[in-house]
A and B are shown apart, each in its own frame.
Chain A
Amino acid sequence: MKFSLEWLKHFLETEATVEEIAAKLNAIGIEVEEIDDPAAKLAGFHVAEVLTAAPHPDADKLQVLTVNTGEGEPLQVVCGAPNARAGMKGVLGLAGAVVPANGMVLRKSAIRGVESNGMMCSVRELELGDEHDGIIELPADAPVGTAFADYHNASPIFDVAITPNRPDCMGVYGIARDLAAAGLGTLKPVTAPDIAAQAPCPVKIRTDDPEGCPAFYGRVITGVTNGPSPDWMQQRLIAAGQRPKSALVDITNYLMLAFGRPAHVYDLAMLTGPVVARRAVDGESVKALNEKSYTLDSSMTVIADDAGVHDIAGIMGGEHSAVQDGTTDVLLEIAYFDPEQIGVTGRKLGLATDARTRFERGVDPAFLDDGLAILTDLVLRLCGGTPSEVVRAGSPPNAPKVVAFDPAMTAKLGGVEVPAQEQKRILEALDFAVDAGWNVTCPLRRHDIEGPADLVEEVVRIYGIDNVASVALPRAEGVAKPTATPQQQLERRVRRAAAARGLNEAVTWSFLPVPDAEHFSASAPLWVLDNPISEDMKAMRPSLLPGLLAAAKRNADLGADSLRLFEVGRRYLRSADSSSAEHPTLAVLLAGEKTPRGWATGKATLFDAYDAKAEAEALLAEAGAPVANLQVMGEAGPQFHPGQSGTLRLGPKTVLARFGALHPATLATFDVDGPVVAVEMYLDAIPAKKGKSGFAKPHYAPPALQAVTRDFAFLVPAGLPAGDLLRAAKGADKVNIVDARVFDVFAGQGVPEGKKSVAVEVTLQPGEKSFKDDELKAISEAVVASAGKLGAELRG
């Protein structure tokens, strides 16, 4: 909300500077967003008098003026305005002044060969209005030489943010009241003028919707003359960001901006029959003042007559009965509308207006008669006319809230000791009534006060929140315990492990285009937004891979040859009861070159499925999963290459991770060139460490004797997974065999069709004594026999 200092001072007696006022506004909870000083903009512009005006010798539309600036010799100025003439007074911008409307710096110049020493300005050039048909004409008594800013009463403009709980501050008077309570000056109380009614009211009003419109007051004024409102009012409205329209419209805006009180004026000639507040009929429509038609429904309150709807109650008036320049008789409306209902209607219609903002938050229920009197007085003063009696339908809420308050609450909740007497003073300055037992009666306009905490806020903000001293939180006794849960610690650990392994952590959107999400959700239903910001951000991700793939595409488009990305975040699935199932997940995506071409290594090498497996195993190990016990199985999902992907499982059912090369169809969907390999690791599937034994590790003494290795070259069926062979080898002697690994795989020349050669190195660890030859022989035979069960034969 904007208002000028001049308007504020109309309600507040104060000597405070602009800076002091701004600081106090901030301190009491009225945030100053900007201060605009038009006087600064008008520097260099002065009241001047045109002494002579003669045609320009070389241009039809220009005149050459001599202008009295109030000091020194008159200046010669070339001017194109048709209204420029000898004897008139106007506003002259001297060389060096900056034209507010366009930022142009004025300088001495020659216009078509004639010297010009300044510019006579139009209303629009000085940003005082829209008019630009000619230069400003000032009254004859305007003192020549005066700075125009002073003459014009240019006043600094405050732009403040009013929090939604304070509709009472959505008018300058309310702000003045708060400032006065905070000691920044004295409130000049506004008393409603006594209006002598000169006729009965010719219009019947009633409310048929006491819920939506509990009170509807009105009065007719006949014989008014509409026209422009006076300068003082226009200046205030312009400062507040309102465009002056006509006196009758400006007056209602003025009441709203001064007192936070919207009202409405109807052209009486356009009304037929009683004027009624009622619910709209479903499908009924009205053309509003913004020239748009709105279709209404029965949840909405309207003001209507026999002919139809004239006003969307509390939100916007109708075009049909809007006042015109020729309007002579008017009906003034001042009503109380239900805040909640105004909000619902406004949202349904998508209509945001100053009136709605105030009604929705709650106007002052005690300000109907006074508001109407002020409104009437302004109309009579500015437009003349004869006022009727006031007619009233219904009554606004009038039961004040009483809060049992304990001034000790201020210290208990607010952390600041404020003497009880001062608390009472503050509350009373804000129009709260405090009785001897600290029962605090709230002014009706303070809809926001619910209980003691609200009164603490009132006291603290007016007393000064700066006076709240910092107090240390008491420290918990004893040694600090971990504050992160095991799951959180797991996430931190794998994140840092992944970064240490050379992967870059990305944070990608939680939402995806629906097709991308569907590509990654086998059959599970997705979470799809009703009101996405765009189609690209519509479905919650069922996997972290699409986000990383999209990032891979962007990186590739920027010329990246190699990409190592990971993300730790949630996948969003739906539980059986349709609640949200959010699974912490780590995903890795490796794309393009694993190593670039090099002087030592030759050609670039590309990522393959084993790189994905390596990341999966390493990160699972960091996560504390028993990697040695995991089984590599299939079914990584249709997004993966069917022959180059797998799952790592703990037992046959618990999938800890899937990994491998992505399916060409997946790459095509995301428009990414291969190879792309990936891992998705399910952090919530990894069994938590059982910390029952505390910190001590199980006992271990390194064996004194050296381990022995034995090599076996097996011929196995080509389709036999090497992992099975290793498991068989290891299982041959669980006491002595501690490891088995494949060191060669070969098929082709010398290996029979349908077979492959797999060379396995088995590590044997002797215990107390070295192995004897016959023991080694027995173990070797056991290995061969165990492998033999899988169809493996020792190569000769």
Chain B
Amino acid sequence: MSTEQEKQVSDTLARLDAAASAGDVEAIRVEALGKAGWISALMKTLGKMTPEERQSEGPRIQGIRARVADAIEAKKTALEAAELEARLATETLDLTLPAPSVPKGSVHPVSQVMDELSEIFADLGFSVATGPEIEDDWYNFTALNMPESHPARAMHDTFYFGDNHRAPNGGKMLLRTHTSPVQIRTMIAEGAPLRIIAPGRVYRSDSDATHTPMFHQVEGLVIDRDIHLGHLKWTLETFLKAFFETDDIVLRLRPSYFPFTEPSVEVDVGFAIENGKRVLGGSGDAPGHGWMELLGSGMVNRRVIAFAGLDPDEWQGFAFGVGVDRLAMLKYGMDDLRAFFDGDARWLSHYGFSGLDQPTLSGGVGAKA
């Protein structure tokens, strides 16, 4: 290589190294590789050479060209990167500033618990049944073995509609005092065998710290040929263990009285007091423990089965009813029933559930706090 060319190459590389802008690089490129550039001129000399000369000079000149071209490309890339970096530096955002907020919705605890119950009982083969909340007294009382004069009727604190609201059958219209009329309606509509739960709103003319005139109940009913008290006990145990997601649920059955069941059983659940709050678990007879009345249940009274059009000599079964709001409070820690129906957005956000907290058996039906 001629020293002159060698110098030109090193000269070009040095200038490239010093170039501060894309324009400088372009100028150097034009000088070297442009149409009138010195490397382009060198390339043109190849055409006039003999094949032998070309064989030795060709690679050399190509080498010069490649070295310079590569250096230009590298410098360009480096300059672009620096330029980008400089631009990005001006684009810095304060990411401690708040992002646009997306409102967070919630599912009401009553709905959540009802979905949980549906899930648990679906696993036990129970369908979900519904019925009207504005009932007539035949379904709410008579068919449940509470005839007109029955003292238990008076104990129900019933809301009635006036005489201009008579039922098509002439009966008195009222707000159902329990979900039990759904038993009758479902037995009449679907016959036996039957396994249902019936969650919904119920009404009693009662209002204090622990009672609201509207609340929620879930009814359970199993009708088959050989269902007995032992099945009732198992079902309640299984349901409560699944609902509270603990095996440590101890039930105490107490004989009681409901007109629509015989035998009738009141069910208590053992609890302990922890930090002033009742926590379910353990036997109520254990030290520091107590029993809490949780639900009423029993074997469906023969008369009720007959009222519902089934043969009580063939079919028997059990029924139970439990307060949904109460279950929600016990599980999720609310302490004021009245707040359930206030629609206070702060309460709803705090005690509500994400729409994605869909209860599933595989994930556990409860939503952990």
- Whether A26 contacts B155 in the complex (CB less than 8 A), given A473-B124, A565-B345, comes out as no
Q: How far is the CB of A526 from chain B (nearest CB, A)?
A: 10
A413 and B316 in contact, given A29-B254, A506-B348, A554-B343 (Cβ under 8 angstroms): yes
Q: A475-B125, A483-B127 are in contact. Are A537 and B254 (CB under 8 A)?
A: no
Which residue of chain B is the closest to A492 with respect to CB atoms? B115
Looking across the interface, which residue of chain A has its beta carbon closest to that of B118? A484
- Find B263's partner among A164, A460, A473, A475 (CB 8 Å cutoff): A460
Q: Any chain B CB within 8 A of the CB of A337? A: no
| Contacting pair A165 B108 (CB below 8 A) | no
Given that A499-B352, A511-B214, A555-B345 are contacting pairs, would A529 and B149 also be in contact in the complex, using a CB cutoff of 8 Å? no
Known contacts A509-B214, A528-B161, A572-B133; is A499 also within 8 Å of B341 by CB?
A: no
> What size tier do the contact residues of chain A reach?
35 or more
Q: A495-B111, A554-B343, A565-B345 are in contact. Are A413 and B299 (CB under 8 A)?
A: yes
Tell me the nearest residue of chain A to B206, going by C-beta: A533
Query: How far, in whole Å, are A468 and B227 apart by their CA atoms in the complex?
Result: 13
Main secondary structure on B side of the interface with A: mixed
Beta-carbon contact of A570 and B344 below 8 Å: no
Q: Is the CB of A453 within 8 A of B299?
A: yes
A596 (CB) vs chain B CBs: closest residue: B101
Query: What's the Cα separation between A730 and B72 when bound, in Å?
Result: 56
Whether A497 sits at the interface, judged by CB under 8 Å, is yes
Q: What A residues does B356 contact at CB under 8 A?
A: 496, 500
A470 and B318 CA atoms in complex are apart in Å by 13
Chain B positions within 8 Å of A163 at CB level: 256-257
In the complex with contacts A29-B256, A164-B257, A453-B162 CB distance below 8 A: no
Q: Contact check, B98 vs A599: say whether CB atoms are below 8 A apart.
A: yes
Chain B residues whose CB sits within 8 angstroms of the CB of A570 once the complex forms: 133, 201
**Binding-face segment, B28-36, B40-48, B228-236:** B228-236
Q: A29-B254, A416-B229 are in contact. Are A499 and B354 (CB under 8 A)?
A: yes
Q: Is B309 an interface residue (CB 8 A)?
A: no
A411 located at the interface, meaning its Cβ lies under 8 Å from any Cβ of chain B in the complex: yes
**A361 contacts chain B at the CB level, 8 A cutoff:** yes
Quick one: CB contact mask for B140-169 with A, threshold 8 Å, 1 for yes?
000000000101101100011110011110
Tell me how many residue pairs across A and B have CB atoms closer than 8 Å: 272
B250 vs chain A, min Cβ distance (A) = 11
Question: Is A483's CB under 8 angstroms from B344's CB?
Answer: no
B75 at interface, CB cutoff 8 A: no
Q: Are B103 and A461 in contact, CB atoms less than 8 angstroms apart?
A: no
Sort chain B's interface into a size bin. Answer: 35 or more
Q: A28-B255, A564-B103 are in contact. Are A360 and B133 (CB under 8 A)?
A: no
A468-B230 in contact given A529-B160, A531-B160, A551-B342 (Cβ < 8 Å): yes
A461–B298 Cα distance when bound, in Å, is 13
Q: Bound complex: CA of A528 vs CA of B135, how far in Å?
A: 14
| Interface: A471 (CB within 8 A) | yes
Tell me the chain A residues, 241-264 only, with Cβ under 8 Å from chain B: none
- A509 contacts B228, C-beta separation under 8 Å: no
- Are A498 and B161 within 8 A (Cβ)? no
Check B320 for interface membership: any CB of A closer than 8 A. Answer: no
- A297: CB under 8 A from chain B? no
Interface of chain A, main secondary structure = mixed
Whether B12 is near chain A, meaning CB under 8 Å from some CB there, is no
Cross-chain contact of A164 among B155, B265, B349 (Cβ < 8 A): B155
Among candidates B263, B316, B341, residue contacting A508 with C-beta atoms closer than 8 Å: B341
A503's nearest neighbour on chain B, judged by CB, is B105
Q: Which residues from chain A contact B232 at a C-beta distance below 8 Å?
A: 415
| Contacts of B225-269 to chain A: CB distance below 8 A | 226-235, 237-238, 252-257, 262-266
> Which residue of B122, B214, B262 contacts A483 across the interface (Cβ within 8 Å)?
B122
**Which chain B residues border A347 with CB–CB below 8 Å?**
154
| Nearest opposing residue in chain A for B298, CB measure | A457
Q: A453-B301, A504-B348, A554-B344 are in contact. Are A465 and B255 (CB under 8 A)?
A: yes
B230 touches A485 (CB 8 A): no
Docked CA distance A74–B222 (Å): 73
A555 to B349, CA, bound (A): 13
Q: Select the stretch in A575-583, A633-641, A735-743, A762-770 that faces chain B.
A: A575-583
Smallest CB separation, B304 vs chain A (Å): 11
The residues in A between 75 and 112 inclusive whose CB is less than 8 angstroms from any CB of B are: none
- When the two chains form their complex, are residues A473 and B214 in contact, meaning their CB atoms are under 8 A apart? no
Q: Which residues of B contact A507 (CB under 8 A)?
A: 108, 110-111, 340-341, 343
CA distance A568 to B200 in the complex (A): 12
Mark A578-610 against chain B: 1 for CB-CB distance below 8 A, else 0.
Answer: 111010000000000001101111000000000
Cβ-based interface call for B55 (8 A): no
Kindly state whether residue A501 has any CB partner on chain B within 8 Å. yes
Complex Cα gap A586–B285 (Å): 46
Smallest Cβ distance from B205 to chain A, in angstroms? 5
Query: Given A465-B253, A499-B107, are A578 and B167 neighbors across the interface (CB < 8 Å)?
Result: yes
Bound complex: CA A669 to CA B232 (Å): 51
Residue among B121, B134, B222, B257 with the most chain A CB within 10 A? B134
- Distance in angstroms from A705 CB to nearest chain B CB is 36
- B231 touching A505, Cβ below 8 Å: no
- A412 at interface by CB-CB < 8 Å: yes
Does B104 interact with chain A (Cβ within 8 Å)?
yes
Is B65 in the interface zone, CB < 8 Å from A? Answer: no
Shortest Cβ gap from A550 to chain B (Å): 8
CB <8 Å contact, B161 and A499: no
A71 to B98, CA, bound (A): 80
Contacting pair A470 B108 (CB below 8 A):
no
Contact yes or no, B231 A165, CB < 8 A: no
Q: How far is the CA of A483 from the CA of B303 in the complex (A)?
A: 28
Q: In the assembly, what is the distance between CA of A502 and CA of B349, in Å?
A: 10
Q: Tell me whether A530 and B160 are in contact (CB under 8 A).
A: yes
Contact A508 B343 (CB under 8 A): yes
Contacts of A600 in B (CB 8 A): 97, 100
Whether A473 contacts B228 in the complex (CB less than 8 A), given A453-B263, A530-B162, comes out as no
Q: What per-residue 1/0 map shows which CB atoms of B110-131 lie under 8 Å from chain A?
A: 1100010010011111111010
* In the complex, A456 has a CB within 8 A of chain B: yes
Would A547 and B343 count as touching, CB distance under 8 A?
A: yes
**Given A415-B229, A473-B124, A483-B126: A499 and B256 interface contact (C-beta under 8 Å):** no
Which B residues are in CB contact (< 8 Å) with A579? 167-168
Closest CB pairs A-B (n = 8): A551-B343, A415-B230, A29-B255, A502-B103, A499-B355, A457-B263, A163-B257, A415-B228
Residue pairs across A and B with Cβ atoms less than 8 A apart, 11 shown, are: A163-B257, A164-B152, A165-B257, A414-B299, A484-B118, A499-B355, A501-B105, A506-B343, A531-B159, A533-B205, A563-B345
- Assuming A499-B106, A578-B168, A579-B167, what are 8 further A-B pairs, CB within 8 angstroms? A415-B229, A416-B230, A448-B257, A502-B102, A502-B104, A530-B161, A560-B345, A577-B168
